[in-house]
Amino acid sequence: MIIALLCDVFLIGGLAFASVEGTLPNIRRLQYITVYAYSWVSEWPLLFILLKIGIKVLASFFGVFRTWLSQAFFVFDILTMIGLVVIFLDGYEARVAIHEAIKDYSDEVEFPTLSRDLSIFSDTFWNRLVNPFYIPKDVIQYANIAYCTDNELAEVQTDQMQSLSLDIYTRRDTLATLKPVFLFIHGGGWVRGDKASPYPLIRHLAESGLTVVAINYRLASVAPYPAQLIDAKRALRWVKKTIKNFGGDPNFIVVGGDGAGGHLAALVALTPNNADYQPGFELVDTSVQAAVLINAITDVLNETMVWHSNFAEHFAKKIAKLETNNEDFLRQHSPIHNIKPDSVPFLVFHGDRDNLVPFQLSNNFMERFKKVSKSEIQFVQIPGGHHIYHQFTSPRSQYQSIGIEKWIKHLYHDGKHE
């Protein structure tokens, strides 16, 4: 029992401290493990508090706290739990930043809180904040729909066909009127990830009345970039042709993504009808109405040296499988260098503790967008957010989901797509 107590004290206590002050190791594979560890603590602090209480009850039952050393550990652990409460409140306060960005787009003056509205105790608000496995009961999923043509599927290996499929999420009580469409592209550094990841954003938007499409794409390990961008545009082609059968409005599609998926989403939005990325369907309209980015990679050229100096080389050789660093190619595939005066509106989120994809990338993208484009861009700095904060059911992800919902509906209503 004493071993379990020591692991509880030092492991969780260390992670709680590191989630606020920690840095990433230099080894790339360890970076992803570290990011997940940080996010587990920063997004689910209440669960860790419950775990600690349970261990303490058991330790007390077995008489562990009879020595002065174990009592010192007990005091240290109480301080850790106080820190976890502070971490929870830090995430809870993310609503302020998100509300400020979209306050002009909704009739609801305030976001729901833990104390302001007693009605939150009679619905799912608390479930969304404290239950990491919460799934809305009125959301239905249509899974693993192939979005490529027979000829395109014939060109890929059998084990890659699952990569060219999508899932559709929509509310069971589908109304007669068409609904806005949200096309989501998962992240994972172009080499990992899956559309089936339980993003709270997908479930919330579907429950709130949008038609949500989550796509897979061939990973760079089997298909060098820009195969991923081409696949995303193939999925968009399918959505425009077919989504009406699922209650979605093909004339209003918002594309979104996180990390590397945000990179692809931004390029989909910024390169409409570009024949270079539409082989075999060059004449198909691949324009969208807006884009949502979460901790997105918006500059693979890394001209301003915002992050580690070898990233451009990594993207060129490991993702695009080029023999040399081709600066023209990297610039062409950096969203920040594809902004145009008529680019569609953007909503950009980035956690200010993201040490995998630097926060400054999104800030640079926002500044350039404002200089070049006539469209609106909203940039929201998420307090305390690590790179994958949005993949956890937590206050940050919940308020972010509400903000994205309000922003999309604002664009949809103002564009009179109803």
Asked if residue 401 belongs to a domain, the reply is yes
Q: What is the pLDDT of residues 168-197, one digit of tens each?
A: 999 887 567 899 999 999 999 999 999 988
Same domain as 41, residue 123: no
Measured CA to CA, the distance from residue 113 to residue 129 in angstroms comes to 10
Say what the pLDDT of residue 122 is: 40
Averaged over 325-335, what is the pLDDT? 93
pLDDT value, residue 6: 61
Is there a domain that residue 140 lies in? yes
Verify cis geometry, omega within 30 degrees of 0, for the bond prior to 198.
Answer: no
Give residue-wise pLDDT tens across range 196-234: 887 889 988 998 999 999 999 999 989 999 999 999 999
pLDDT tens-place string over residues 84-140:
888 888 877 787 888 777 777 765 545 666 555 444 444 556 666 656 556 677 889
| Domain range enclosing 223 | 104-414
The C-alpha atoms of residue 204 and residue 407 are separated, in whole angstroms, by: 14
Compute the distance between CA of residue 263 and CA of residue 296 in angstroms, rounded to an integer. 6
What gap in Å lies between CA 379 and CA 244, rounded to an integer? Answer: 31
Q: How many domains are there within the chain? A: 2
Same domain, 132 and 170: yes
The span from the CA of 105 to the CA of 286, in Å, is: 27
Q: For the residues 245-250, what does the mean pLDDT come to?
A: 94
Distance between CA 8 and CA 81 in Å, rounded? 11
Same domain? For 109 and 78 the reply is: no
249 vs 81, 177, 254, 264, 352, CA distance in Å? 47, 9, 11, 22, 34
| pLDDT tens readout for residues 52-76 | 788 777 777 666 666 666 677 777 7
- Which among 68, 92, 116 is the end of a domain? 92
Specify the pTM.
Answer: 0.89
261 occurs within a structural domain: yes
Strand pairing report for 211-215 and 165-171: antiparallel
CA dist., res. 92 & res. 129, Å (int): 9
Last residue within a domain, chosen from 92, 125, 147: 92
Tell me: do 218 and 298 sit in the same domain. yes
> Final residue of a domain: which of 57, 92, 127?
92
- What is the C-alpha to C-alpha distance for residues 183 and 203, in angstroms, rounded to an integer? 13
**Alpha-carbon distances, residue 47 vs 41, 50, 124, 145, 376 (angstroms):** 9, 5, 18, 36, 39
